[in-house]
Amino acid sequence: MADSDGGSGRSPDADRGPLFAVSPLDGRYARYTEPLVEYASEAALVRARVRVEVEYLLALADLDAVPLRIDPADRAALRDLYEEFDAEDAALVKAIETEGHGGIPATNHDVKAVEYFLRESLPARLDADAVGPWIHFALTSEDANNLAHRLLLKPAVEQVLVPELRDLRDALAGMAREHGDLAMLARTHGQPATPTTFGKEMAVYAARLGRTIGRIEAAAGDLAGKLAGASGTYAAHHAACPDVDWRAFSAAFVGSLGLEHAALATQINPCDDLAALFDALRGANGILLDLDRDAWLYVSEGYLGQTSDEGETGSSTMPHKVNPIDFENSEGNLSKANADLGFLGEYVTSSRLQRDLSDSTVKRNVGAALAHCLIGYGKLGDGLSTVVPNEQVMRKDLEATPEVIGEAVQTVLRREGHADAYEHVKELTRGRRTSLGDFRELFGELDVDRETRAELRGLTPAGYTGLASDLVGELE
């Protein structure tokens, strides 16, 4: 069986538009996923294969041991085959694979179809009989495929996903700086806890996301390509041209494509580099899922108000509702992305012996995982742009929960040498509603000096935010 997972042609509904797409990524959400078409579509993969094959042919022509010379004009014409690759070219390659074309029977093999496409498309001035044998010379399909996939994945991440993540990081940093002093009741275990500021909480997310963006960029920069033949031994290369240093050639060629070189491989690139990148993306998505859920809760509690479009419907039956749908949509898409990325990272790093083909169809779903990421990032950005902190609600919540200053009270008393400070405050506050008056009554009974008593009486929930506003300055 050839290295093709067979797409047999066009669906009867192929020209009916997004409403007839099998996947919502190409249907309902097509307008959001469009930036990935250049990197994640079947046509993009075919174009990338053409690029690899053309550049490999040109690299062979630079070897003294290879009786092939291609002048600058013909080199430019060959590069035009992928630089100007269009829908008609992609359809032709697909026809060669599935139906046959111009006397070429159907290959049922996607990479072989690219080879025949190139032979059919050589510039007229080139001697096809002389050049043809060197197209795909000594390569296995995976040599072309692993490089093509990485030539698409790297810019998809660096040019589409990372800018979206940076926009989110910048939005969070902006919110952090704007609201660094806005006191807010914190909740640990879902219960009232030491107050914080809204800005500081957004700064935490901005800092986490910034670090993870660096991890994603590093993983994308470490993508490594393999070009070593059918079992990773350069056997066919060495048999045909034993005087060529094929290891050096391979390293130089892969490097010229902007990828690291995987020197040791079987027929396939082991894909540990892909798994590392998928894991880095999952890390970013995990942070943003955390934010989606927190934002949803803040909206539910009234800490965040939402702006709404006048004509928009929040509920088909309850006219008053303004739902946090952007955060919910983001949560759903990022959850789906992480499930896919986890599966991909686990699956592509294993292969039976030197090669099995199950990974081929799996890798075709990388674009779908990236698309769910992209939708999730965009929806979260939309959500953040429509929420406004509600200072009145936050302050009211703080005033209604004076027991949160108990931590400060018992800590100050410890400083003053009161070994039973914790127990005093616990007796006053645990499991009961407490007022500031109750605390002041306690302060009057304590054996402390005038300055300490004044210090304790000055404590308020809204003022008990520590260095929260200063911590926002930790953002770079």
In degrees rounded to 5, what are phi and psi of residue 130?
-80, -35
Q: Are 139 and 229 in contact (CB under 8 A)?
A: yes
**342 backbone φψ class: left, alpha, beta (φ>0; ψ -120 to 50):** alpha
User: What proportion of the chain, given as a percentage, has pLDDT over 70?
Assistant: 94
Tokens of 91: 């359809």
**Active-site residue (options: 11, 300, 315, 385):** 315
Catalytic site residue 308? no
Number of other CB atoms surrounding residue 260 within 10 Å: 15
Span of 229-233, 284-288, 332-336, 419-423 with lowest mean pLDDT: 419-423
Is 80 exceeded by the pLDDT of residue 314? no
Catalytic site residue 261? no
Mean per-residue pLDDT for 411-435? 85
**pTM for the predicted model, two decimal places:** 0.90
**Active-site residue (options: 8, 189, 316, 320):** 189
Structural element, H or E, at residue 187: strand 183-188
Over the stretch 164-223, which tens digit does the pLDDT of each residue have? 999 999 999 999 999 999 999 999 999 999 999 999 999 999 999 999 999 999 999 999
Question: Rg of the chain over CA atoms, in angstroms?
Answer: 31
Beta-bridged to residue 187, according to DSSP, are 192
Q: Output the CA–CA distances (angstroms, integers) from residue 75 to 61, 82, 137, 287, 453, in the order listed.
A: 10, 12, 17, 47, 85
CATH of the domain spanning 401-466 = 1.10.40.30
Task: Report domain 141-312+322-395's class.
Answer: mainly alpha
Over the stretch 60-97, which tens digit does the pLDDT of each residue have? 999 999 999 999 999 999 999 999 999 999 999 999 99
Question: Residue type for 210, please?
Answer: G
The C-alpha atoms of residue 166 and residue 138 are separated, in whole angstroms, by 43
Number of other CB atoms surrounding residue 284 within 10 Å: 27
Q: Are 345 and 271 in contact (CB under 8 A)?
A: no
Give the per-residue pLDDT at 317. 42
Mean per-residue pLDDT for 274-299? 97
264 three-class SS: coil
The fourth-level CATH superfamily of domain 36-134 is: Fumarase/aspartase (N-terminal domain) (1.10.275.10)
Q: Where are the alpha helices (DSSP H) in 311-435?
A: 325-347, 358-363, 366-385, 391-399, 406-415, 421-429
The C-alpha atoms of residue 420 and residue 14 are separated, in whole angstroms, by 76
Domain ranges for the chain, please list them: 36-134, 141-312+322-395, 401-466
pLDDT band at 353 (very low <50, low <70, confident <90, very high): confident
The C-alpha atoms of residue 137 and residue 55 are separated, in whole angstroms, by 12
User: What is the DSSP code (8-state) at residue 191?
Assistant: E
Structural element, H or E, at residue 25: none
134 three-class SS: helix
Over the stretch 259-283, which tens digit does the pLDDT of each residue have? 999 999 998 899 999 999 999 999 9
